[in-house]
Amino acid sequence: MSAITHLQFLESEAIYILRETAAQFQKPALLFSGGKDSIVMAWLARKAFYPSKLPFPLLHVDTGHNFPEAMIYRDWFVNEIGAKLTVGSVQKSIDDGKVQEEKGHNASRNKLQTVTLLDTIEENQYDACLGGGRRDEEKARAKERFFSHRDEFGQWDPKNQRPELWNIFNGRKHFGEHFRVFPLSNWTEMDIWQYIRQEEIPLPSLYFSHQRKIIERHGQLLDASTGIIPLLDEEIPKVKEMTIRFRTVGDATCTGAVESTASTIDEIVAEVAAARQTERGTRADDKRSETAMEDRKKEGYF
């Protein structure tokens, strides 16, 4: 008998977790951002329940600061895999006075998403949210469980997590509590790309090399073509046309680009293999402090 490859193992493990989630919870949802990790997760969910449709909806927490390409892709993808889509709107949370927009030119709605996410979970009574987080992404994520318990305030307590042994996942909870479930915990960025290549999964065009107006701010290449990021007066003359692609796709205000001519999956895989920076190195949200991710996760972030 031939040994299984690492991608076969990771795929099977993720499918197992997705099925456990459907079986152990009353009303799960799959967090879908249009980023490659959530695309791979939704792709695996389709496989896990085939020939049935997904037994849970996709949930998009919409900051309102989206790249148009990501939204076009989202609607196409949802239709393609025959899923249902629920949208939680950060703009609505702002309009309802539940959160206040950050001020200044570095303002981002990234942190506000947490409130919208927790509200959407409560409104829809979701008891488990599937997330595309990976342990290799960030040091606080390395301590995350597959089945991650959240208290009634949606908070994560990293010092009091349930041990996870063998293939056994404990999703028991009290009323009002919920779980975050991470089927891709054991995947690395390279695994994601190799899997996308193997499965020929279509991606938003943002991931591939293209020309874009860019402003360099604190060493980061930020989008200056959609108008989502307000530019300072002195920045306007510094906007350059560059050949870039995005390594992650999230809220446009904190997603940095990299200079790249990689226009196919093969070229991206080669580029990722040679990269000297983690993909989150392009994320402004992680640069705020050494434990920025841990702090956001404790509050209920993805």
Identify the residue among 65, 109, 111, 173 touching other proteins (CB under 8 A): 173
Q: How far is the CB of 157 from other proteins (least distance, A)?
A: 11
Count of other CB atoms within 10 angstroms of residue 213: 13
Identify the residue among 213, 225, 269, 284 touching other proteins (CB under 8 A): 269
Pick the piece of the chain touching other proteins (CB under 8 A) from 96-104, 119-127, 158-166, 249-257. 158-166
Identify the H or E element spanning 197.
Answer: helix 189-199
> 12 CB contacts (<8 Å, ≥6 apart)?
4
Pick the piece of the chain touching other proteins (CB under 8 A) from 86-94, 119-127, 193-201, 235-243. 193-201
Identify the residue among 103, 104, 166, 218 touching other proteins (CB under 8 A): 166
Count of other CB atoms within 10 angstroms of residue 75: 11
> 73 CB contacts (<8 Å, ≥6 apart)?
34, 203, 204, 205
Choice between 232 and 270, CB closer to other proteins: 270
Identify the residue among 26, 103, 165, 233 touching other proteins (CB under 8 A): 165
Sign of the CA dihedral with 231 first, then 237, 238, and 239 last: positive
Inter-residue contact 152 to 293 (CB < 8 Å): no
Q: How far is the CB of 21 from other proteins (least distance, A)?
A: 10
DSSP strand pairing (28-31 vs 128-130): parallel
Residue 192, both tokens: 């994601």
Identify the residue among 85, 210, 275, 288 touching other proteins (CB under 8 A): 275
Q: How far is the CB of 289 from other proteins (least distance, A)?
A: 10
Identify the residue among 198, 211, 261, 264 touching other proteins (CB under 8 A): 198
Choice between 8 and 264, CB closer to other proteins: 8
218 touching other proteins, by CB under 8 A = no
> 117 CB contacts (<8 Å, ≥6 apart)?
31, 61, 88, 129, 154, 300, 301, 302
Count of other CB atoms within 10 angstroms of residue 26: 8
158 touching other proteins, by CB under 8 A = yes
Pick the piece of the chain touching other proteins (CB under 8 A) from 112-120, 125-133, 185-193, 257-265. 185-193
170 touching other proteins, by CB under 8 A = yes
DSSP secondary structure of 185-222:
TT--HHHHHHHHHHHT----GGGS-EEEEEEEETTEEE
Fill in the DSSP letter of residue 238.
G
Segment 28-57, which members bind other proteins (CB under 8 A)? 46-53
Q: Report how far Cα 185 is from the mean position of its chain's Cα atoms.
A: 12
211 touching other proteins, by CB under 8 A = no
168 touching other proteins, by CB under 8 A = yes
Can you give the binding site for other proteins, defined by CB under 8 A?
Answer: 1, 3-12, 15-16, 19-20, 22-23, 46-53, 135-136, 138-143, 158-159, 161-168, 170, 172-174, 185-186, 188-191, 194, 197-198, 269-270, 272-278, 281, 290-291, 294
